[in-house]
Amino acid sequence: MTSTEFSELQRTIGQLRHCVGALRARYGDVPAVQRLTNDLERIDIDAGDLVAAPVTPAPRVPVFAETEVVHIPDTPYDPALWHGADDEGVGGYQR
């Protein structure tokens, strides 16, 4: 995070703190305002953590090789595979 980005983040957190303060003045210390205050403190702590120890994102690893081709045969499946299975949405298996 660059210093400009961090400054903008701190400015925005300050504006949010001002808004939560206005809500507290209007509604008092109700649970919703307490949760907003707690969330705001957590955002401030997390922003500070980003500056203290910048984290480099892990490289994205695909689940399978992008060049891997999966061949699906055109032959029908073995009917025994479906023996006893319900037809969902059709009313279930009738005995």
pLDDT at 8: 93
Q: Name residues whose C-beta falls within 8 Å of residue 81's C-beta, 6 or more positions apart in sequence.
A: none
pTM of this prediction exceeds 0.75: no
Averages of pLDDT over each 10 residues, the chain, 95 residues: 85 96 95 96 91 72 71 85 71 56
